[in-house]
């Protein structure tokens, strides 16, 4: 893993903790079903959005 890749991974982890929908949108796009689900979960509560964000980020390459 390159140094740039490690830095980007760390930044995505921080972004997923702070703003889960933004992290998902950057990875999958704003029109994706993953983003819409994450946005809804985050609106219902921050923790469900974070859990879904980490789950979806680790699930798909």
Inter-residue contact 57 to 10 (CB < 8 Å): no
Only one residue has tokens 């923790």, namely 47
Q: What distance in Å separates the CA atoms of residue 13 and residue 4, rounded to the nearest whole number?
A: 14
Can you give the pTM of this predicted structure?
0.87
**pLDDT for res 61:** 66
**Cβ neighbours, 10 Å, residue 34:** 19
| pLDDT band, very low/low/confident/very high, at 59 (cuts 50, 70, 90) | confident
Q: Over the stretch 5-54, which tens digit does the pLDDT of each residue have?
A: 888 899 999 999 999 999 999 999 999 999 999 999 999 999 999 999 99
Only one residue has tokens 């983003």, namely 35
Q: What distance in Å separates the CA atoms of residue 2 and residue 38, rounded to the nearest whole number?
A: 29
């Amino acid at each position: 893993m390159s140094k740039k890749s490690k830095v980007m991974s760390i930044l995505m982890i921080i972004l997923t903790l702070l703003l889960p929908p933004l992290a998902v949108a950057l990875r999958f796009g704003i029109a994706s079903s993953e983003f819409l689900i994450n946005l809804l979960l985050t609106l219902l509560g921050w923790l469900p959005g974070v859990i879904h964000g980490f789950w979806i980020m680790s699930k798909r390459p």
